[in-house]
Structure 1
Amino acid sequence: MAVKQKIKKPLHLAKLRIKKGDTVLILAGKDKGKEGTVSRAIPQMNKVIVEGLNTVKKHVKPRGQTQQGGIIEKAMPIHVSNVMLKCTECNTPTRVGIERREMGQDKKMRPVRVCKKCGKVIQDRTRSS
């Protein structure tokens, strides 16, 4: 039986509009309608891992005397098209746009994520600036 290989993009071509720390709404699957925080983004495969959602039970074999075997719950990746970002300003699920705006002390034009509903900049939760 042939196993289908997962196609990974080269890292320089992989870009996502959803980042680690964002609050998202699940649009499809068994957790449809639930909200959670992105714990990891995998841009090469267009997937994100949401804390506590899309979990599966995995049977783990004991490895020697150090690791104990048993059944563990593991959060699995979900495709980016099946999640929608919640805006930090209007607190509603929205699409994400990219605009170039003057940012920082040097007033350089930098790309920022923008809410398509209210037009305000979406704040990065991982960055403090």
Structure 2
Amino acid sequence: MAAKLKKGDKVVVLAGRDKGNEGEILKVLPAENRAIVSGVNMVVRHQRQTAQSQGGRISKEATIDLSNLALVDPKTGGATRVGFKMVDGKKVRFAKKSGEVIDA
């Protein structure tokens, strides 16, 4: 199945602890059906001190399921679903709410 959300997309969280928060997708893991979104699903990891780093408690983004994310509509700014259509012989994604083409 074609990927509806890609790296660099601005998304909103639909469910969970960070519901309503927005962020940009940093990495998509299609095999696991998960993504890493900036500033969303923050967890604390305890890191050992090394010669390169101070160590201590490090906050970082954990993965979040793709089903809990929705693309932010470029026109209205709200959450929207993603569809596909052909434009000039090229398959592009579009926002179902406004009909706006996402990747031209």
Query: Does the pair score TM above 0.5?
Result: yes
Match of 1:52 in 2: 39
Q: Secondary structure at the match of 1:21?
A: coil
**Runs of 5+ unmatched residues, structure 1:** 1-12, 103-108, 124-128
- Report deviation, 1:69: 2.0
Equivalent position of 2:15 in the other structure: 28
- Residue 93 of structure 2 corresponds to residue 113 of structure 1: yes
Structure index of larger Rg:
1
> 2:59 aligned with 1:73, yes or no?
yes
How many residue pairs match? The answer is 104
Counterpart for residue 49 of structure 2: 62
In 2, are the aligned partners of 1:89 and 1:122 still within 8 Å (CA)?
Answer: no
**Runs of 4+, deviation exceeding 4 Å:** none
| Structure with greater strand share of residues | 2
Task: Compute the TM-score of the two structures, normalised by the length of structure 2.
Answer: 0.88
Matches within 5 A, 1:91-110: 91-102=77-88, 109-110=89-90
* Structure 1 residue matching 2:31: 3-state secondary structure: helix
Residue identity over aligned pairs, in percent, reads 39
One-letter code of the match for 2:79?
Answer: P
| TM-score normalised according to structure 1 size | 0.73
- The structural deviation recorded for 1:112 is 0.4
- Distance of 1:90 and 1:69 partners within structure 2: 43
CA RMSD of aligned residues (A): 1.6
Q: Which runs of 5+ in 2 are unaligned?
A: none
- The 3-state SS of whatever aligns with 1:81 is helix
